[in-house]
Chain A
Amino acid sequence: MARVTLTNLVKAYGAHVAVKGINLDIADKSFVALVGPSGCGKSTTLRMIAGLETVSWGEISIAGKVVNEVSSRSRGVAMVFQSYALYPHMSVRSNLSFGLRIAGVAKTEVDRRVAVATEILELGPYMERRPSQLSGGQRQRVAMGRAIVREPQVFLFDEPLSNLDAKLRHQMRVEIKKLHRRLQNTVIYVTHDQVEAMTLADQIVIMRDGLIEQAGTPAEVFQHPANKFVAGFIGAPQMNFFAGTVTEAGQIRLRGLERALDVVPGRFDMPRAGAPVTVGLRPEHIVPQDHGLTPKNPIRFEAEVLLSEALGNETLITSSIGAEEFVTRMLDPRDVADGERMSFALDTDRIHLFDPETERSLRKGSDN
């Protein structure tokens, strides 16, 4: 059992507090992604779990044992670094076996573990090469192999794919997923790329400014973001936000739209009439007419196309309601001219509401 528990974890560098007392319980065999913009404390948290940074306050326990004062090598963790951090002067074989050899593991056991990692990662043909003779993807695999041979309870990944090109990144994402399925270890994966987090993880932890903003399954954080930050961070292109006002009838009026938006009854803790709210709508929920699924409860409006970005399979259209710009997806796209007036259908069933001051979601039951 390699459950990882962080209790009131703090990391302070003098007056600068990078991690501000986070609590997280990571179940055995789960794949957890820590995401957030740079400087949010996700890497620092990972490095504390790895034992590469000291813990200023709080506790880290791995498999039920507090490891604050335990050295990296004895924590039962292995880490894959962003730069791969392979030893340039050693062959792939030596890179894989180095840690085991200095730990005094018997040669037959070293050979067995290296053989297993080699087989899993298909490194056979490269065993005698130096890292400089390998491609980016191969280096990445060696770095994973070095982690595998340690047979760790917990795998730590620190932005492992950020040095790869888009195609290879996708390929490696699949490999990491397969690896997790096969080895069944606990994985903690740091990334700033929300796509990686969404596709790989069972649980996503979104961090900002040294604090956890929300933790949940990919579907949870996508469908029920706890606050405006998470709503904007998860999903690409990001969620559109509009300033609205609550009407007497409990609807929401957006400046620039004739009709007020109906709200699904009972879904939100609605503020009193006249109060401002922030309305969030994902790009796919403002549908260009005839280019996507027409919503059940639409509000139709016309607006001028400010910018169109053709991606081939879809076109991203930037337009505006009143003074507020939004982005939408045009599926099955046609040629769009800038300045063209276009009809859109806004899906009122899919709106998110946030308190403009606290930025918290107004959805009932979203307290995390």
Chain B
Amino acid sequence: MTVQVPFDLSQLDFAAIAQKERARNRTSPWIVVLSVLLALLWVAPFYYLMVSIFKSPEEYAGSSPFALPEGITPVWANIVDAWTTANMAQGFANSALYGVVGASVAVFIAALAAHGLARFQFNGKTFWFMLIFAGTVFPFQMYLIPLFFTYQQMGIINTKFGMILFYTAVCIPFPVLVLRNYMSQISTEMDEAARMDGCSEFRLFLNIVLPNCWSPMAALFLLQFTWIWNDLLFSTVLSQSTDVRSIMSALQVFQGGYASTSPVVVLTASLIASLPTVVLFLALRKTFLRGISISAG
């Protein structure tokens, strides 16, 4: 073997190499055109929403739906109109209660179950897991009628307690699936170290396992909160009165034969109603994405 003279890097044209690398990765113009068209299709409803809320009912009626608004002031009137007509304050408060309590209690209970399923050895472990998991398999509509009659018999139909109970229960199975997989990957030696440090089983769960599951738990909380917030079906069936119904069923006043509200008010109301989940996502986006990638990995 002979020792080679080092290769002279200065003879290379790095600009040319970079250009060649870029050319290799260049996207076809057709792909770009197609992407832009698809993006426009996607954005069009949002555009329609965004221009409409700044129009007064009269302006909306008299112009093309895609025309730009003349000013921005009518939005205040629209907001007030939407807020009062649908009694949105009450709807917001109810939905926030159901979303926050339902999703957080569900994720916490799911974490407890997942801890047991992932860390303890007991008979029928797979059976219990499959039983819980079955909760995510069937379409929700299947529960509707039995649930309605059961609630009626128990006297918890049209009550806040009934709503929270349902949302909590229905939001448990999916987080169990995700958290069980996640917790299975955490080293069991850590549990043993904690036990030797003197942790009780519950303390181990609370102080050692839970803090290592914040990311997937936050992601799951967000997913379940959004689901509860956006739920219309169960809210409509299980609640009637203004003080129990959620924001989504509150919006239903704008619909139906006797509704006479202008589309701009309906659009404004929809936008307001969807703001909390968007804000929540933006606030928790880092944790959410981390949680999603962990559960996928």
A binding-site residues for B, Cβ under 8 Å: 50-52, 72-73, 77-79, 81-83, 85-89, 98-99, 102-103, 146, 150
Contacts and interface: CB of A to CB of B under 8 A. Distances in A.
A102 B196 contact: no
Sort A-B residue pairs by CB-CB distance and give the 10 closest, nearest first: A99-B197, A73-B198, A85-B189, A85-B193, A89-B211, A81-B189, A72-B196, A85-B190, A83-B189, A103-B198
Contact of B194 (A50, A78, A87, A88): A87
A78 B193 CA distance: 9
Contact of A146 (B192, B193, B208): B193
A89 B212 contact: yes
Contacts of A85: 187, 189-190, 192-193
A50 B212 contact: no
Nearest to A84: B189
A52 B197 CA distance: 12
A82 B189 contact: yes
Nearest to B198: A73
Given A102-B203, A146-B193, A83 B187 contact: yes
A87 B190 CA distance: 7
A162 B243 CA distance: 63
B287 to A, nearest CB: 14
Nearest to B188: A85
Interface string B195-206: 111110001000
A51 B198 CA distance: 12
Contact of B192 (A52, A87, A89, A98): A52
Interface string B165-208: 00000000000000000000001011011111111000100011
Nearest to A74: B198
B190 to A, nearest CB: 5
Contacts of B198: 73, 99, 102-103
Interface residues of B, number: 16
Contacts of A51: 196
Contacts of A150: 197
A243 to B, nearest CB: 44
A280 B68 CA distance: 96
16 contacts: A52-B192, A52-B195, A72-B196, A73-B195, A73-B198, A81-B192, A82-B189, A83-B187, A86-B190, A89-B211, A98-B194, A98-B197, A102-B197, A102-B198, A102-B199, A103-B198
B193 A79 contact: yes
A51 B195 CA distance: 10
Contact of A52 (B196, B199, B212): B196
Contact of A88 (B192, B199, B207, B212): B212
B235 to A, nearest CB: 37
Which of B192, B203, B212 lies at the interface centre, i.e. has the most chain A CB atoms within 10 A of its CB?
A: B192
A86 B194 CA distance: 9
Contacts of B197: 73, 98-99, 102, 146, 150
A78 B196 contact: yes
